[in-house]
Amino acid sequence: MQLVVDSAGVVRCVYDETIDLSSLGSPRIARASHVEPDAQGLWHADLSPVGGPTLGPFARRSEALVAERCWLEAHLSNSSHRR
């Protein structure tokens, strides 16, 4: 789990259950993306909730989920993608 701490002490990460985030303070959890199929059954990762692109299409949902996580982790410290 990649944790990014900004100069104000705010911790940002892609949520998973590796650690109990409440041990760092009161978590504020927000959706960063949507992984959905299209009419042809192909999968897309829509990162517009954090100002990102739509990734895909992918033949499998698992591929879209991997691309989603990679993009989010690569852009965690980019302040322009802050909610």
Which pLDDT value is given to residue 1? 86
pLDDT in tens, the chain (83 residues): 889 998 998 889 999 899 999 999 999 998 999 999 999 999 999 999 999 999 999 999 999 999 999 999 999 877 444 44
Which pLDDT value is given to residue 70? 95
- Cα 1 off chain centre by: 12
> pTM to 2 decimals?
0.81
Q: Of 26, 9, 71, which is closest to residue 46 (Cα–Cα)?
A: 71
